Amino acid sequence: MPVYCPAILIAAPASNQGKTTVTAALARLHSNQGRRVRVFKAGPDYLDPMIHEQASRNPVDSLDLWMVGPQRCRELLYEAAQVSDLIIIECGMGLYDGTPSSADLAREFGVPVLAVIDARSMAQTFGALAYGLANYQRDLPFAGVLANRVGSDNHNQMLQSSLPEGMHYFGGIPRDERMQLPSRHLGLVQASEVAELEQMLEQGAAVLEEAGITRLPEAVEFSAPESTWSIDKRIDGLRIGLACDAAFSFIYPRNRSCLEVMGAELVEFSPLSDAGVPEVDALWFPGGYPELHIEALGENSSMLRSVANFCDSGKPVLAECGGMLYLTRTLSRDEVSAQLCNVLPADARLEKRLQGLGLQYVDWPEGQLRGHTFHHSSMNDHGLCRLSQAVRQKNGQPGEWFYQYKGLRASYLHLYFESAPGTIATFFSTPHP
């Protein structure tokens, strides 16, 4: 039986148009009005969901037709629609960017698109851009357009009058420092690092209310999935140590729940402040910002020794992106450098330019997993043992390498566990002495 829930997909012609800020402010506005708001992020992302979780006061999951899969996306939306008063999906990059794109996601589930356009230094061209977004693919459900960073009332009227007949104008958001979230090289700053985030969310909600952008979107029909996600392997009682602190926090909530549903117990520890790893059967080092904590990580010598000893034991260890950098010999950023775990005989450094981006899949001996890569660091891997190389989803070209040392597998690739729960369960439950 289908369920109905107001829903909107917040999109833009490109990054840096303000869609994350608008999404967070809209979520907080309706949450403050007593509505249960669920926010989803289209595509792989860790940072925006941290902001949206605090804004909506509810967990945030990723939706991606390739990495998560259409069936699982449908199930997540159906579950959310049953208990929510509003669903907001934030687009990744531009509306039509990527294959599959956020536009493909909107069409798949019939969620109308609200296009946010940065209107600075723009007049009638605003209407042309809005028309193009709405009509580039004519079967796209399109709700209307929202102007961001509007200079004045006259500017707002000019933008509205430029729109083609019949296109709905949600309004204009004035240029306002209250509608600005801080960012760094991988995107937004983590929610936990923004001291005044709560105040910024409340101010953003107030700006939308002042601009009259308060109306609930139309209800969307969400059909029940034909089948539900299920697990095919149990790992009851398996204790997995999860590195989790300011340096390691890029964790899909569904990766956590996937392991827990299969029976594993996640034991969090901090490479920054704890003396050693906990008593566990396996370790998981997710991605994060170790390059911002190089000195503190290098000074915790007892943890470095504990991690190295655990890896030498042959017990399973998964290290993703920033987690892999922590296991290298040295990590450098500008003039700052430190010796780290030295499990992997390689040296890594933060670069000025993006080094890797995109969806990929990898074949392990246990099966195939899907994920994504997004990193600004490089690593000399000449002395490492290569297990397998990932494949780029968009063109089938070679992607990131997976390196192996005893029970350790490390890569720049961030894995999405629900793409193959049995594969990840078999890995974590199989020692390699």
Active-site residue identified among 258, 321, 341, 385: 321
Classify residue 245 by its DSSP letter.
B
CA 319 from centroid of its chain's CA atoms? 17
- Separation CA 370–CA 360 (nearest Å): 6
DSSP reduced 3-state for 149: strand
- Separation CA 427–CA 388 (nearest Å): 15
DSSP reduced 3-state for 282: strand
Question: No. of H helices and E strands in the chain?
Answer: 12, 26
Amino acid at 49: P
Hey, which bits of 97-184 come out as E strands?
113-118, 142-150, 169-174, 183-184
Phi, psi values for residue 19, rounded to 5°: -70, -35
Cα 216–Cα 217–Cα 223 angle in degrees, nearest 5: 125
The most distant pair of C-alpha atoms in the chain lies apart, rounded to whole Å, by: 71
311 is catalytic: no
Six token digits for residue 422: 């049995």
Q: Residue 133 burial (CB < 10 Å; 0-12/13-18/19+)?
A: buried
- Separation CA 323–CA 355 (nearest Å): 17
Q: Residue 201 burial (CB < 10 Å; 0-12/13-18/19+)?
A: buried
Contact 290, 248 (CB under 8 A): yes
Six token digits for residue 407: 């029970």
Classify residue 165 by its DSSP letter.
T
Q: Kindly report the length of the chain.
A: 433
Contact 305, 278 (CB under 8 A): no
DSSP reduced 3-state for 384: coil
The residues assigned a catalytic role are: 321
